[in-house]
Amino acid sequence: MNKVRISIILYLLLLVIGCTEKDITFLISENSIGRLTSTSEVEAISSVFLQDSIVRDTLKSKIGSSSKKIQIFEKGGLPLLLLTPSTDSIPTIENVQILDPRYKAENGIGLLSTFKDIQSSYTIKKIVTTLNSVVIFPKNSNLYFTIDKAELPTNLRYTTSNIEAVQIPNGAKIKYLMLGWD
């Protein structure tokens, strides 16, 4: 009788564990964002974002260019993602700009994070200085972060020389969070 009771309890426990699926709707990993993966074809986007609105760019920046931006909006109108397709014969997504702060990496980093959060979660491979921002590329990650130069000390806002990690304030906010797949 005890063996039957233990077997039933173990069966029910396995059933409960098997049925509890982690919600990945707003999870960013190295090869996925929500249910969109690095191998998802552009044609499959409508099935991946079935509950959301998809807006495709109708203007071509160059004649013959097939790379158009695809915007994903929540049904309520909130912007979620901006997708850039590859120009391969079977296009997949090449780059994703995260627009909704609910999206977070497995380590908790998202649009509302700061430079200090980035430094505590990643080893920085490279920092690229542009005219209006600095772009931070972590080692071994497909994510990259843009911080507006307005977040930097006044003496660094107008420089085009390389900015080092020690020059970026801990509280500097992320302006853009991007996921790039090759």
What is the average pLDDT value for the chain, to the nearest integer?
Answer: 87
85-105 tens-digit pLDDT: 998 888 999 999 999 999 999
CA distance 28 to 107: 9
CA distance 123 to 141: 10
Q: For the whole model, what pTM was predicted?
A: 0.81
For the cut 50, the answer to whether the pLDDT of residue 61 exceeds it is no
111-136 tens-digit pLDDT: 999 999 999 999 999 999 999 999 99
Confidence of residue 66 (pLDDT cuts 50, 70, 90): low
Q: Are 145 and 136 in contact (CB under 8 A)?
A: yes
Q: Are 95 and 84 in contact (CB under 8 A)?
A: yes
Across the range 77-91, mean pLDDT stands at 92
Classify 46 as helix, strand or coil. helix
Q: Positive or negative, the Cα torsion across 182, 28, 132, 59?
A: positive
pLDDT recorded at residue 153: 94
131-172 tens-digit pLDDT: 999 999 999 999 999 999 999 999 999 888 899 999 999 999
